[in-house]
Amino acid sequence: MADHAPVIVHPLSPDGGRRVTIRGEAVGSAYTLFDLLEFLRRAELPEVDTAIDDPDLVEWRGGGPEVWIESPP
């Protein structure tokens, strides 16, 4: 078992996005939960629809899935 979840959602950046890493590789910035779900789908991770609340799959840093800026500047 890994020491940490394969998906890490980092704290909000100054531009309002949250950097996402999957298996140690930066995949982009998510501005909404839908963006994160798309990253998970592209990475072919299991159970994408329910993955966001699975601490074995997603590690939230700087706030959970409810922390987003409504739109990027």
In tens, the pLDDT along 43-69 reads 887 666 666 888 888 999 999 998 987
CA 16 to chain centre: 14
**Structural domain contains residue 25:** yes
Write out pLDDT tens, residues 4-54: 789 999 999 988 899 999 999 999 999 999 999 899 889 887 666 666 888
Question: pLDDT-derived band of residue 1, with 50, 70 and 90 as boundaries?
Answer: very low
- Domain ranges, residue 20: 7-60
Alpha-carbon distance 59 to 67, whole Å? Answer: 13
Number of structural domains in the chain: 1
In a domain, 48, yes or no: yes
Please give the structure tokens belonging to residue 48. Answer: 């994408």
